[in-house]
Every structure is written in C-alpha cells, then in structure tokens.
Structure 1
Amino acid sequence: MIENRNSIPRWVSLIYRYGQMYIGEHLKKYDIGRGQHIFINALYKEDGLTQEELADYLKIDKGTTAKALKKLEEQGYITRTVSKKDKRCNEVHLTEKALLIKGDVRKVLTDWRERLTFGLSDEEKQLALTILEKMGNNASRFAEEQVEP
C-alpha cells in the first residue's frame, strides 16, 4: 500500500532529498559530494573538532564520518592530525582550499534555505523551526531507546 501523501515522514524525506540534489548540483564544480558539505560546514562553524565530535554533532556513525573525511582529505579540503590533548583522537582542520570556497558553500546553503522557505512569513518560519526541532528531539529520544523484538 502506498503511504499517505500527507505523511510527515514522507515530506521530511522529500525535502531532504531535494536539498541534497540542489546542494550537490551547486557544489559539483568543487567535487564535493552530497554528504560531504555538512562536514565542511560544521568545521566552518568550529574548526579543529575531532572526528568523534563531528560524528556526534552531525549524528552520523563513525564509519561514515571516517569515509567522508578521508575523501575530503584526499581532495585537499581538510587535514587530520593526532590530537595533542588525546592521542587516540584525530583533530580535523580546514585547509586554505576549503577556506577559499567558504563564501560559495555558505551561499549555496543559504540559497537552499531561502528557496525552501519562500513565501513563508517570519511567524511561519519560526513555527516550522519550532515544530521541526520538537520532532528532531523526539526522533533522537526514540531512536536511542531499545527496540523490543
């Protein structure tokens, strides 16, 4: 049976996929993959995070994080060095190459957000944000619970 067209998960998934397509297409010239821009953007906010901190902040498993960072490192956008504070951790730093495209990356993300909220009043934008935040918190809480067989 096909899921109801008015399903919240369907719309969240659709928005996510369209966003990945839009952002991926606009960052293609930099050879940044669909799932990699989130790591660069997180480092624009706070450079020098460890791989574990990035994975935790973005809620992405450590294996996927390691693969994405490996590709970004091979492309020259980041460097990974052993942390001086904790030798078991790698700190991730942006390179000059990544800093040179910061404005373009941020513009693509801002443009997507503006397109996504086109025609919404400030009140509607705030309401949408409040609702999505509550839904995100619910998802986080329930995802961490043990699933009964």
Structure 2
Amino acid sequence: MNSHDIFVTPDVLPAGGRLTVIVNGCRYGTASSDAFGTIRLEPFRDDTARGVATVDRDARRGRYDVTVRCDGRTLTRRGAFTVLGGVNGGIGGSRTTGATPTDVAIGGGLVGAAVIGGGALWLRRRHEKRV
C-alpha cells in the first residue's frame, strides 16, 4: 500500500459536502483530514476499504491531505481534495448567516411604506365619512 492507493471522490467539493475515501490494500482502518476529522474504513471489495465523510461546514477553502491508518501503517495522500467554500445562494451568491445590513434596510423601508400607506388610507376613509 502506498499513497497512490488512496482515492478520494469527488476531488473538489463545497464545505458541508460528502466525499468517499477508498483505499486499496486495506481491509479495516481509519482516514482523517483537517477538513472532516476521522472516519472508519470498512471492507468494500477484495483487499479494499471505503469510508464516507462529511466536510465541516466551516472548512476553509483550499487543498486538504488525507491520512490513512491501516494494518499498522500510516500513509498520507497530500492534496487529496479541494474545498471550494460553502454552498452559495441568495442575492449575488452571498454566504452569510442572519440578516445583513441590506436586509434590515429593505425590511425597514417596506415597513415604513406600509405604515405610511395604511395611515393615508385610514385618513382618507375617515374624511369620506364626514362628507
């Protein structure tokens, strides 16, 4: 078993994504990375082990190594996969949690418009009843 016997798929994924580690020449063991911690490797096929990991949602962008411990040996596959960052969504693909200053400004503007519109309607109806 050498570092070329360690396969990671997919090799590019977002933070929070799932990946599979396959190791030839290994039956049982563990695989670890700074991006996902430690996972167990279970028999998959003849003399091959496999494990599934979920990359931490707060993993930084960049390339990560995978270290495999199997049959008393430890091997590291350098740059085994790349984390692109979190899954992006929303306006402009921003990645934030909670309300942004823009969200607060838009919401405040909508509430202000509703109050002014409701007040104008109330005054108009009140004036119509007097005539």
Report the TM-score when normalising by structure 2.
Answer: 0.22
Q: Which is helix-richer, 1 or 2? A: 1
Q: Which is strand-richer, 1 or 2? A: 2
Larger Rg: 2
